[in-house]
Amino acid sequence: MQTTLIFLKPDAVQRGLMGKILQRFEEKGLSFVGMKLVQVSEDLAKQHYAEHAERPFFPGLLKFITSSPVLACAIQGPNAVAVCRTLIGATNGQKADPGTIRGDLGMSGANNLVHGSDSPESAERELALWFTEGELTGFIKTANQWIYDPSDLD
Ligand code: IDP
Ligand code: MG
């Protein structure tokens, strides 16, 4: 089992797409083990996107991500990090495949609706930045027995 950090960016919240996007992850069979609306601080934004600090788009990215609340989610499942990245699609909505969230719902390489951790190591770092341990539940969905075969969970 892996847990990954997903957040619905300000454009998704402002465009009223939260329900639609959450449904993609939910109906896939993943479990939400934490969720909260966050007005992102400059400090959290800088820490979260530290790897991009030297990129020309960094100031615009900080401005965007702190401009309006985001919906932060901890999502769990086998290979959750890679499964969520596949559901999200390529960074730029104009190039993302149809059927992905960005491919179906977006047209921008900046306002691209959703963040997903890019590796298990990033997921661990990002979850610790965004959630306290007490905010992450340990519940198991009883529907998992219909979503997964035991061999899927090896
Ligand atoms: P990812 O979200 O698909 O992992 P990253 O390359 O990690 O993409 O970039 C982080 C975020 O920075 C993107 O999701 C997007 O919001 C923004 N971003 C990335 N590249 C550009 C760009 O070339 N122009 C403007 N914003 C960008
Ligand atoms: Mg990234």
Domain harbouring 66, CATH code: 3.30.70.141
Task: Determine contact, residues 35/3, Cβ cutoff 8 Å.
Answer: no
In a domain, 153, yes or no: no
In a domain, 154, yes or no: no
Instruction: Between 142 and 153, name the one with better pLDDT.
Output: 142
What is the extent of the structural domain holding 120?
2-147
For residue 27, the model assigns a pLDDT of 97
CA of 47 to the centre of ligand 1 (A): 15
In a domain, 143, yes or no: yes
What number does the ligand 1 atom closest to the CA of 112 have? 16
CA-closest candidate to residue 90, choices 78, 108, 72: 108
* SS3 category, 25: helix
In a domain, 114, yes or no: yes
Give me the amino acid identity at 117: S
Q: How far is CA 23 from the centre of its chain?
A: 13
In a domain, 29, yes or no: yes
Which ligand is closest to the CA of 123, given by its number?
A: 2
Residue nearest to atom 26 of ligand 1 (CA): 110
In a domain, 152, yes or no: no
Task: Determine contact, residues 28/87, Cβ cutoff 8 Å.
Answer: yes
CA of 146 to the centre of ligand 2 (A): 32
Whether 151 shows a pLDDT value over 90: the answer reads: yes
Which ligand is closest to the CA of 110, given by its number?
A: 1
Domain count, the chain: 1
Please compute the mean of the pLDDT values over residues 126-153 and round it to a whole number: 95
Query: pTM higher than 0.85, yes or no?
Result: yes
Active site residues: 115
In a domain, 79, yes or no: yes
In a domain, 66, yes or no: yes
Give CA–CA dist 129/61, Å, rounded. Answer: 18
